[in-house]
Chain A
Amino acid sequence: MKISPFLLLCAAATLAIPVFTHDGYVIQLLNIAILNAIVVLGLNYATGWTGQINFAQAAFYGLGAYTTAIATKAGIPWIAAPFLSVLIVVIASLILALPTLRLRTHYLAMTTIGFGEIVRLIIVHWEPVTGGTSGLRAIPGISFFGFGPQGQIQHYYLLLAALAVAVIVAVRIRHSTLGRAMIATKDSEIGAEQSGVDIVRIKLFAFMIGAVYAGLAGCLYASSIRFVSPDSFSGTQAILLMMMLIVGGMGSIPGCIVGAVALTLLPEILRFLGQWYLVLYGLGVICIIVLAPGGLASAASVARVRWVGQR
C-alpha cells in the first residue's frame, strides 16, 4: 500500500503534539477525540459501509466501559478487561442484530435507539453493580502485567497506537472481499444477494465488528478517564457519534477521524463564546452538511472540482 506524503506529515504532526504542549487539558481532550475516532470507525462498518443506521454504538461503548470498570474494580487483571469487554459487546450486538436483520431505514434506527435506552436503563437501575446514576469511580488504570502508562501524554501515545491498529484493520477490511460485500449491501441488498453476497452474514459482521471497536474504546475510556457514568453513553452521545460520522464523511476512514476530532474539539474551541457556542457549533455542522454533503473528507475534492470548473 502506498502511503501519501500528506498522510505521513499528518502522522508526524500528531506524534509531535505533546512536544509542543504539555497542557493537560489539551492532551486530555485529544485523548477523548481519539477514543471517539475509534468508536466512529466502528460505526462506519454498519452505517458507512453497510448502510445500516445504528444508534446503538454509544450503548456498545458504554457496555465496554462498564465491563472494564466492573471487572477491574473486582480485582480481575487489566489484561483480561479488553477480552471481557469484547465478549460482552459481541453478545450484545448479536442480541440486537439477530432479531433486527430484516429491518431497514428508520425502523432499524428506532430499534437501535430502543436498544441504547434499554442499556442505559439497566446501567441506571442496576445500582449495586453499576453504581447507578452516580457511576463508578476510582477505576484501576491500564496495566500490562504491572506496567502501564502514567500521565496523560503516555496515555495519548497508547491511544494513538490503538487508533492506528483500528485504522489498519479498517483499511484491510475495506479492501478485502468482505469490505466490497459491505459496500455492495449498502448500494443494493437485492443486487448484492444476486451476486452471491450473504447479506445476513455481512450485516451481522458489520454490527459485531463495529461493536468490538466501541467495546475496546470503552475499555480504554474507563481505564484512562477512570470514571464512568450513564450520561457519557446516553442517546445524546449516540447522536453525537452519528454526527461525527456524517460530518467527517460516511464510508471514509480519514473522514471518521476528522469528524470525531472536529466535533470533539469544536465545542471546546468555541468556549470563549460562552453560552452562544452551541449556536455557532450548530451552524458549523449545518454548513458542513450543506456545503460538503460527503462530509469533511470530501470537502477537499469538492473544492478542487469547483476550482477546476471555474477555470
Chain B
Amino acid sequence: MSFYVPRIRQTTQATILASLIGLATTPLLAAPASCPSPIPFGLTTALTGNLALLGTQARNGVEFAVDEINKSGGIAGKQIALVTDDTGASSTDALNAMNRIVEGKPLVIFGSMISPHVFAQTEIVTKSETPFIVGATNAKVTAQGSKWLFRTHAHDGQLADLIPTYLAKSLGKTKPGIMAVADDYGLGATKGIQDSLSKLNITPVATTSYAPSDKDMSAQLLEIKDKGADSLILFGRPADVALVLKQMSELGIKLTTIGNASMVAQTTLNNLSAAEADGAYAIGGMIPQTSTDPKIVDWSKRVLEKYKVPADNFTVAYYDSVYLLKSIIEKVGCDKPAIRDVLASTKNSQGMLISYTADAPGDLVHTLGIYRNKGKTPELVGPINEAGY
C-alpha cells in the first residue's frame, strides 16, 4: 500500500477543499438571497399617552428610513415590512405589544427610548433570539446581560459624566443646583450627576425634582436661587424643560443652565421666546438642526414635511439604526445570530451625524454634541467624546 500522493494531487485536493469551503460560505456572501420577502422588521414605541411625543420620534426615524430603502429597491431587491405596535405609557402594555411583535417573528426589533418599557421587554426578546435595537437612555439598559440588545443613542450615564465636567472645567461653575423630572430618566441622571460632581469635589447647593405632570416649578427654582447657585443642571422632557426655562425668565432667575438634549429640542424651542431660550447649554445625542450639510438640511426638511414634527436626536438615532442594519443584512443575510455578531463588532460605521462603534455591553454611541441656544436657534459648540473614545 502506497501512501505516496503526487504533488499535483495534493494541489487538486487543496483546490477541492478550498472550493468546498467556498461553497459552504457562498450562502453568507450571497446573503440577501436567504432573506424572506418582504423582510419583517418590528417596532414597539409609545404612540399614545404622555410619552407619545417622544415615542413618535422613534417611529418617524425607523419608518422614514424604511420608506426610503423600499423606494430605492429594498435590501437586495427585497422590501422591508415594518410592523409597529403602540406601547402606551405602561410597562405591562409595552410587554403586550412586544409579545405581539415577537409572535410575528421579525428579523430585528426596535424598542423605544422609554427605559422601563425596554426593561420589561428585554427578557422576551432575548428568549426569541432576535436582535433588539433600542434608544432607551437609562445607563443600565445595556447592563442587563442580553447579548441581543444594542443601543444606538447616548445614555444618561454618559451625560451624567460629561455635563458636570463641562460645567466645572469649561464654564467654570462650581455651585450648581440640580433639577430633574422625577421619572426613570431624570432620577437616574440625578444620581449619576451627583456622583460625577463629587469626583470633581463639587457639592450641589440644592437637588430638586418635579413630577412629570407638574406645571409649576417656581418653588424648586427659588430654592436653588436662594441657596446661592451659580448654575442649574436641568434634566427633563421637552415640555417641562420649556416650562422651567419660561418660569426662570418670569422669576428673573439668571443662571447658566445646562441639561440634556431637551434644552435644544425643537419642541422646547417652539414654546419659548428667544430671550427665554437664549444661552442655555445642552449635551446630548446629535441633533440635525445645527448641521449646515445640505443633505442633512434636506433630510430634516423632508422629515418635517412628512410628520409635521421636527426631527430630533432620537429620529436620527433610529434612522441611522435602520441603515446600519441594511448594510449588515447585505453582508450576512437574514441570519439573526450573524446580524447580532456583526452588530456587536460594529466599528466606525458612519451614520448621518456620528459614527457608531459597539462596546462590550452593546452601546454603539460614544460621541455626543455640546449645544448652546443663540436666541431660539441651537448652535453646535462642538462634539464631545465619552472617556476612552
Question: Which A residues have a C-beta under 8 Å from some C-beta of B?
Answer: 23-25, 28-29, 32, 124-125, 127, 132-135, 137-138, 225-227, 229, 231-232, 234, 236-237, 267-268, 271, 274-275, 277-278
Contact: A268 with B103, CB < 8 Å?
A: no
User: What 1/0 mask marks residues of chain B from 169 to 199 whose CB sits below 8 Å from any chain A CB?
Assistant: 0000000000000111101100100000000
Contacts of A25 in B (CB 8 A): 96, 99-100, 102-103
Rounded to whole Å, the gap between the CB of A129 and the closest CB of chain B is 14
Rounded to whole Å, the gap between the CB of B186 and the closest CB of chain A is 9
29 interchain pairs, CB-CB under 8 A: A24-B102, A24-B103, A28-B96, A28-B99, A29-B96, A32-B96, A124-B183, A125-B187, A133-B116, A133-B183, A133-B188, A134-B140, A134-B188, A135-B91, A135-B120, A137-B119, A137-B123, A225-B92, A227-B91, A229-B120, A231-B90, A232-B91, A236-B89, A236-B90, A237-B90, A268-B100, A271-B86, A274-B47, A275-B47
| CB-CB nearest in chain A for B211 | A121
Task: Confirm or deny: B85 has a beta carbon within 8 angstroms of a beta carbon on chain A.
Answer: yes
| CB-CB nearest in chain B for A228 | B91
Contacts of A138 in B (CB 8 A): 123
**Chain A residues touching B, majority SS:** helix
- Bound-state Cα–Cα, A23 to B96, Å: 12
Contact: A227 with B103, CB < 8 Å?
A: no
Contacts of A274 in B (CB 8 A): 47, 86
**Chain B residues touching A, majority SS:** helix
| CB-CB nearest in chain B for A133 | B184
| CB-CB nearest in chain B for A235 | B213
Contact: B96 with A124, CB < 8 Å?
A: no
- Bound-state Cα–Cα, A24 to B103, Å: 7
The one of B89, B92, B100 that contacts A32, using a Cβ cutoff of 8 Å: B92
Contact: A275 with B86, CB < 8 Å?
A: yes
Task: Name B117-169 residues within 8 Å CB distance of A.
Answer: 119-120, 122-123, 138, 140, 144
Rounded to whole Å, the gap between the CB of A265 and the closest CB of chain B is 10
Question: Which B residues have a C-beta under 8 Å from some C-beta of A?
Answer: 47-48, 85-86, 88-93, 95-96, 99-100, 102-103, 115-116, 119-120, 122-123, 138, 140, 144, 182-185, 187-188, 191
Rounded to whole Å, the gap between the CB of A289 and the closest CB of chain B is 21
Give me 13 other A-B pairs in contact (C-beta within 8 A), A135-B119, A225-B120 excluded. Answer: A32-B92, A125-B182, A127-B187, A133-B184, A134-B115, A134-B116, A135-B120, A138-B123, A227-B95, A231-B89, A232-B92, A271-B85, A274-B86
Contacts of B144 in A (CB 8 A): 137
| CB-CB nearest in chain A for B99 | A25
| CB-CB nearest in chain A for B141 | A134
Rounded to whole Å, the gap between the CB of B241 and the closest CB of chain A is 18
Contact: B184 with A134, CB < 8 Å?
A: yes
Contacts of B185 in A (CB 8 A): 133
- Bound-state Cα–Cα, A24 to B105, Å: 12
Contacts of B119 in A (CB 8 A): 134-135, 137, 227, 229
Contact: B95 with A135, CB < 8 Å?
A: no
Contacts of A231 in B (CB 8 A): 89-91, 116
* A134-B119, A231-B116 as given contacts; A28 in contact with B95, CB under 8 Å: yes
Contacts of A234 in B (CB 8 A): 90
